[in-house]
Amino acid sequence: MAVRPVDATAPGADLLSYDGLRAQLRGVGEERYHHQHPFHLMMHEGRLSRGQLQAWALNRYYYQSVIPIKDAIILSRGPDPAFRRAWRKRVIDHDGDGTAHNEGGIKRWLKLAEATGLDAEQVGAGSGILPATRFAVNEYLNIVRSRSLLEAVASSLTELFSRDLISLRMEKLRQHYPWLSGGLAYFEARLTQAPEDANFAINYVCENAKTRAEQELAIQALRDKCDILWAQLDALYFAYVQPGWPPPGAFLIEGS
Amino acid sequence: MAVRPVDATAPGADLLSYDGLRAQLRGVGEERYHHQHPFHLMMHEGRLSRGQLQAWALNRYYYQSVIPIKDAIILSRGPDPAFRRAWRKRVIDHDGDGTAHNEGGIKRWLKLAEATGLDAEQVGAGSGILPATRFAVNEYLNIVRSRSLLEAVASSLTELFSRDLISLRMEKLRQHYPWLSGGLAYFEARLTQAPEDANFAINYVCENAKTRAEQELAIQALRDKCDILWAQLDALYFAYVQPGWPPPGAFLIEGS
């Protein structure tokens, strides 16, 4: 479904119904979410090398490591205890509680990176990540700091689309890269976490976008978040697939 | 010259002399400044199409438009009238004074964009710029806001290297794209502005980096700034040269 641009200031630009707003948000995902990115298509077709998967795991670690910071910023802007109780779950999901029972998403991602053959300590230090990864991820922090709380919450709504992508990815990683199978706990956990989180966030957005202009701001925030995910894969593709030019100082695939 | 990494916390990590620090900063430029980027090499060899030059002018406009904002942030952090008097020149250079005598760098860049065949109003609105451009440029704002004033000033030191690149670029643009020749006033002005600005900034950095650790932070800020410039050209190359995949919503070259 294509998203039709709407001039929210035009006369007759009426408030969308909850269903109408949900349809618009889903339309953004169909058009811009990174499930369609060529880097992911290559991954799912088994056409990425181990080195390319390492570059992906290394760079995506930076994104993972920033997510609980992003959520803590939103938490700090939460208007009431009920909102903050719901949102703090995300920080716990990613940071864990320091026990083996809940090691948290960051630790789980490190295990995935280790399964690709990288050293967890080096990944954690972040050396060699692409500057473009850092810039895209930092923009996510800019958005949740500088825009309205409504937009900050709406920017998380890529989680509406992540369950399907993660299900497919787990199947394809197991099929094409069986040596990675021991490192998939991150995705396993997200299969239930992401839909819970998305459910809270979309209800919040529907209830708190009280004008058409606010609804459009929420839709734009989701579009911008999709761009943040997409740009990370563009940068990986450019550096490690085609033309295959990592910028000065970036991770080099062994033997390349 | 390669930049040797230095552990500034190691015993015996002595303060660099002014000349030593200048040499390190110049070394960063030789290694990371975007004069060596393949997109610029293509430009200077006359191998870019008009559409590719349009994409460059459009995206680089966003960078230009943010520069006086970046400088106003540094101005706002300036410790004394002498510093602020020196720095405010930059804001004036880019914003002009509203007269034909000094129209300012942003306006001059718009004229370059027009010379490529783009509509100045559309360029000014920024629609179609690559998200990766926005993310890289916004990171420049993050740096001057969140790091020390010393690092904010040091991040401007790419101007040490810009005169040579601009001289070469003007010669090559006139040679290979004579239809652009009427739009080069921006570069003409920068030939004198940039060295003046760089001269003030490098003296400030030399005098205010009082420990080896501070010197290393200044060098790192310049490295990070080079990454910001480099990433913008990576994104242009990926979207408009090879593989030639603009992300959803980005400017499309006519006929592509």
Query: How many CA atoms, within 13 angstroms, populate the side-chain half-sphere of residue B222?
Result: 30
Give B179 to chain A, closest Cα distance, Å: 30
Alpha helix (H) residue ranges in chain B = 18-32, 38-44, 50-77, 81-95, 105-115, 120-125, 131-146, 149-154, 159-176, 185-208, 212-240
Our CA angle for A76, A80, A83, nearest 5°, is: 80
Q: Is the peptide bond preceding residue A195 cis, with omega within 30 degrees of 0?
A: no
Q: Residue B25: what residue type? A: L
Across the interface, do A230 and B249 touch by the CB < 8 Å criterion?
no
ipTM (interface pTM) = 0.90
Which one-letter DSSP state was computed for residue B12? T
Tens of pLDDT, residues B45-73: 999 999 999 999 999 999 999 999 999 99
Res B2 pLDDT > 80: no
Spatial contact of B93 and B193, defined as CB atoms under 8 Å apart: yes
Structural domain spans, chain B: 18-240
Mean pLDDT of chain A: 94
Across the interface, do B249 and A227 touch by the CB < 8 Å criterion?
yes
Which one-letter DSSP state was computed for residue A242? S
pLDDT at residue number B178: 97
Q: Which residue of B has its CA nearest to A3?
A: B249
Res B3 pLDDT > 50: no
> Measured between alpha carbons, how far is B4 from B219 in angstroms, rounded to an integer?
12
Residue B218: pLDDT band with limits 50, 70, 90: very high
Residue A149: pLDDT band with limits 50, 70, 90: very high
Q: Which residues of B touch A235 (CB under 8 A)?
A: 132, 231, 234-235, 238
Across the interface, do B242 and A243 touch by the CB < 8 Å criterion?
yes
**pLDDT, average across residues B21-40:** 97
Which one-letter DSSP state was computed for residue B137? H
Spatial contact of A190 and A118, defined as CB atoms under 8 Å apart: no
**pLDDT, average across residues A206-223:** 98
**pLDDT, average across residues B191-215:** 97
Res A8 pLDDT > 70: no
Nearest CB to A31; choose among B32, B230, B248: B248
Q: If we measure between CA atoms, which residue out of A19, A20, A28 comes closest to residue A230?
A: A28
**pLDDT, average across residues A114-134:** 97
pLDDT at residue number B134: 98
> Measured between alpha carbons, how far is B224 from B205 in angstroms, rounded to an integer?
16
Q: Which residue of A has its CA nearest to B137?
A: A135
Q: Which residues of B touch A131 (CB under 8 A)?
A: 136, 224, 227-228, 230-231
Res A7 pLDDT > 90: no
DSSP secondary structure of A157-212: GGHHHHHHHHHHHHHHHHHH-GGGGGG-HHHHHHHHHHHHHHHHHHHHHHHH--SH
Tokens representing B199 are 């001269």
Q: Which residue of B has its CA nearest to A38?
A: B245
Give every CB contact of residue B177 below 8 A, 6+ residues apart in sequence: B46, B48, B50, B53
pLDDT at residue number A3: 43
Q: Which residues of A touch B136 (CB under 8 A)?
A: 131-132, 135
Tell me the backbone φ, ψ of residue A253, rounded to 5 degrees.
-70, 135
Across the interface, do B248 and A142 touch by the CB < 8 Å criterion?
no
Across the interface, do A245 and B38 touch by the CB < 8 Å criterion?
yes
Cα B81 from chain centroid (whole Å): 26
Query: Cα-Cα-Cα-Cα dihedral of A159, B146, A62, B212, to 10°?
Result: 180
Chain B contacts to A (CB-CB under 8 A): 31-32, 38, 130-132, 134-136, 138-139, 142, 223-224, 226-228, 230-231, 234-235, 237-239, 242-243, 245, 247-249
pLDDT at residue number B4: 47
* Cβ-based neighbour number of residue A26 at 10 Å: 18
Q: Which residues of A touch B231 (CB under 8 A)?
A: 130-132, 135, 235, 247
> Measured between alpha carbons, how far is B145 from B152 in angstroms, rounded to an integer?
8
Across the interface, do B138 and A135 touch by the CB < 8 Å criterion?
yes
pLDDT at residue number A13: 72
Q: Which residue of A has its CA nearest to B228?
A: A131
Mean pLDDT of chain B: 94
pLDDT at residue number B7: 55
Distances (CA, A) of B229 to A47, A174, B40, B45, B158: 31, 39, 11, 20, 9
CATH number 3.90.1300.10 given to A18-240: no
pLDDT at residue number B101: 87
